[in-house]
Amino acid sequence: MEMLEGADLCFPHLLNASCRKQMRPQSEALLLSILLSFISLLTVALNLLVIISISHFRQLHTPTNLLLLSLAVSDFLVGILLMPVEGFRFLGACWMLGDFLCALFYFVAYVITSASVGNMVLISIDRYVAICDPLHYPTKITQRRVQVCVCLCWVCSVLYNTLMQTDNLNQLSSYYSCYGECVFISHYIAGAVDLVITFTIPIVVIVFLYMSVFIVAVKQARAMSFHITTIKPGVVTITARKSERKAARTLGIVIVVFLICFCPYYYPAFVGVDTELNSLSSSLVVFLFFSNSCANPVIYVFFYPWFRRTIKVIATLEILQTNSCKMNIL
């Protein structure tokens, strides 16, 4: 009987202090393992394709693509570092790596996801200037300025999360109820601050900028339709309507995906309670939070014609040819 009880413990030799394993039916555990592994691998593969494409081909070395590259790097790190760990935790695996690596995991997780959100805001600013002020875009959005903004995004993410997690890192072991768990607790005040900085402000900025882009795109399409309507009225009207629908669809996808992935995580901060990340349900919320990194390359990059061409070049191994970096893919 003692051996059976010990088999359910993370540390069988610590009968009174060890956490119990969260046991799932074998079929359910297998199905979840396949699903979570697929999402993680898809996140890594999509973002790795973006990283290789923009880094390798010289035609893609533009300010806009540098922002996409930074976003892909942060999302790639989520897929290869954070998703596997959180997947194991969601399946009920015990934490066997000690206090330091537990603290390091949460710190790295918050730094990477904060940088990812920051990159999304920078991309929305870039697209706003490109559409709403195209004449001054080359002088306002330069390679040098974008490089500085990307570096600041990552540095600010590190500094911000260092300040936010200082108390939690110093008192991490005091939150444990037993050995074998890795707990992160964000008090409601810190959670409220994080809600404003990492969720509210970015979503407001993104919505405002994309709405402005949408309005300008609609005006441009209608102006084009008005000026050329005497030549090909039917074709131009249909083209203008397609442009409006495409702009609206892009805006809707960006906002809906962001809200779906982030709202469950920030719900405790909305209602004013502490956020405790140690249960199976909270692991699912965190994994959904990370899943935004799988959606980002699809939203921001996949529909670019050049990306589809680079995928073909990479898949057929043409990228290994001499001077392939100078290929015309635009």
Q: Is residue 22 part of a domain?
A: no
Instruction: Name the domain count of the chain.
Output: 1
Q: What is the mean pLDDT of the segment spanning 263-290?
A: 66
Assess if residue 28 is contained within a domain.
no
* pLDDT tier at 6, thresholds 50, 70, 90: very low
Residue 232 belongs to a domain with what CATH number? 1.20.1070.10
| 26 in any annotated domain | no
Identify whether 316 is part of a domain.
yes
The pLDDT value given to residue 41: 94
In this structure, what is the dihedral angle of CA atoms 315, 316, 317, 323, given to the nearest 10 degrees? -110
Cα dihedral angle (48, 49, 50, 55), rounded to 10 degrees? Answer: 90
Q: What is the pLDDT of residue 154?
A: 96
Residue 273 pLDDT > 60: no
Tokens read off for 293: 């990194």
Residue 260 has pLDDT above 60, yes or no: yes
Helices (H), 229-304: 233-271, 280-290, 292-297
- The pLDDT tens digits for 129-176 are 888 888 888 899 999 999 999 999 999 999 998 888 776 666 555 555
In a domain, 119, yes or no: yes
What percent of the chain is modeled with pLDDT above 90? 21
Question: Is 248 domain-assigned?
Answer: yes
Q: What domain range includes position 71?
A: 35-326
Whether the model clears a pTM of 0.85, i.e. scores above it, the answer is: no
Query: 165-223, pLDDT tens digit by residue?
Result: 776 666 555 555 666 677 776 666 777 788 888 888 998 998 888 888 878 877 776 77
Helix (H) or strand (E) holding 186: strand 184-186
Lowest mean pLDDT among 95-109, 208-222, 232-246, 302-316: 232-246
- What are the tens digits of pLDDT across the range 221-236? 677 665 555 555 544 4
Would 294 be classed as within a structural domain? yes
44 within a domain of the structure (yes/no): yes
